[in-house]
Amino acid sequence: MKRALSTRYVACGALAAASGTALVAGESLEWYFTQDSVLGQSAAVAQATAFYSYVSLGIAMAVAGTLLIGIGLAKKKVEGPGSVWTVISGALNSRPDIRVGAVAGVLYGIAYLFVSSMVVYQPSVDFAAVYGVTAPSVSAAACCGSPGTVPELIVYLMPQWHFALQILPLDAFFAAVIPILVGFNVAVAAHALRDSGLRSNAGWLAPVGIAAGLFTGCPTCAGLALAGALGGLGATSLAVALAPFQALFIALSIPALVASPFLVSVYAGKAAVAACAVPVSGTAPAGTKNP
C-alpha cells in the first residue's frame, strides 16, 4: 500500500510538473511569434498583463508537481542501507535536513531575485521624472524580445524608495521552481554528510559527488560570473544581457539539479554498505596485520 501510494504521488507530481512546464514554454513561444501583431495596439498592455494568468497557472502546476514528487519520494519504502531510496527518503523525513534544505532554497531564491534583476533598485534614478511613476503601479511591455522574455511585467513597488520588480516569464518560472530543487539537493547532501559511514568509508567519490550536487545547485553562479564579465551594465540591463543564455540555463541546470541528489544517494548508499560490511572469517580489517 505504501509503495503504491508513493508511486501515485510521484506519477501525479511528474505529470503536473511536466504539464506546467509545457504550458509556460508553449505560452512563451506563442507570445514570441505573435508579439509583432500587438505592437502599437492600445490593448497590448492589457493583453500582456492577462498573459501572466497563464504563466502563473503553469508555474503553480510545476511547483505543485515538484512538491508532490517530493512527498512521494518521502513515502518511498526503505529497501536497505545501500538503497538510493533509503537515503532520499531518510533526507525527506528528517526535520533537521528539511530545515537546512528549506533555508538553502529560500536564500537561493532571494539571491536569484537580485542576480536575475527581478528586483530592481536604482537609488540614483528619480522614478517620477524618468518613468512618470509616483505611486505603486503595474505596467507591461508586450514587445519585443526573445522567447521567454516577453511580455515583460514591471511592478513599481515603492517608487519613492527606488524599488521595482522586472518580471520575465522564464525568470518567474526559475524563481519558483529552482529554489525547491536546490533545497532538495542540499537536504540530501546534508543527510549524506551526517552519515558517519559516509564520512569514514565513502572514499574520494562521495565528497566529489556531494560537491557536484551542491555546485549544480547554484546555476545563479553562472549569472554572477556573467554579471562580472559585463561589468559596465546596470541592474535593469542585466536581465536583457542574460536573456540569450536562459535556454542554456534551462538545458543544463534543471537536469543537473534533478540528477545530482540521486548521484549523491548512490555514493551515500555505497558508503553505508561499506560501513556495515562484516569482515570474512580469517581476515583482518584493512590497515591491520594478521597475528
What's the domain count of the chain?
Answer: 1
Extract the residue ranges of the chain whose pLDDT is less than 70. 1-3, 38-49, 79-82, 195-252, 271-291
pLDDT at residue 181, as a whole number: 87
Calpha distance 49→42 (Å, rounded) = 13
pLDDT at residue 9, as a whole number: 93
Q: How many helices (H) and strands (E) does the chain have?
A: 11, 4
Residue 178 resides in a domain: yes
Residue 198 resides in a domain: yes
Residue 96 resides in a domain: yes
Residue 287 resides in a domain: no
Give the list of residues 6+ apart from residue 63 with CB closer than 8 angstroms, or none.
20, 176, 177, 180
Residues 76, 89 contacting (CB under 8 angstroms): yes
Calpha distance 268→149 (Å, rounded) = 40
Residues 177, 63 contacting (CB under 8 angstroms): yes
Residue 282 resides in a domain: no
* Cα dist from 287 to 283, 284, 291, whole Å: 11, 8, 13
Residue 16 resides in a domain: yes
Grid cell, residue 211, equals 560537491
pLDDT digits (tens, 9 = 90+) for 186-238: 888 888 877 645 554 444 444 444 444 444 444 545 544 444 444 444 444 55
Cell numbers 520588480 correspond to: 165
* Sheet containing 137-141, strands listed edge to edge, beginning at the edge strand earlier in sequence: 119-121, 163-167, 152-158, 137-141
pLDDT at residue 210, as a whole number: 44
Q: Which of 28, 41, 32, 46 is nearest to 138 (CA)?
A: 46
Burial 76-98 (b: 16+ CB within 10 A, else e): beeeebbbbbbbbbbbbebeebb
> Which residues span the domain enclosing 238?
2-276
pLDDT at residue 291, as a whole number: 47
Calpha distance 201→210 (Å, rounded) = 14
pLDDT at residue 253, as a whole number: 72
- DSSP assigned state of 280: P
Q: How many CA atoms lie within 13 A of 245 on its CB side?
A: 17
pLDDT at residue 250, as a whole number: 60
Calpha distance 132→129 (Å, rounded) = 6
Calpha distance 10→169 (Å, rounded) = 26
Residue 248 resides in a domain: yes
pLDDT at residue 98, as a whole number: 94
Residue 155 resides in a domain: yes
Grid cell, residue 242, equals 542574460
Grid cell, residue 112, equals 536569484
- Helix H or strand E segment including 274: helix 246-276
pLDDT at residue 245, as a whole number: 58
Burial 252-266 (b: 16+ CB within 10 A, else e): ebbebbeebbebbbb
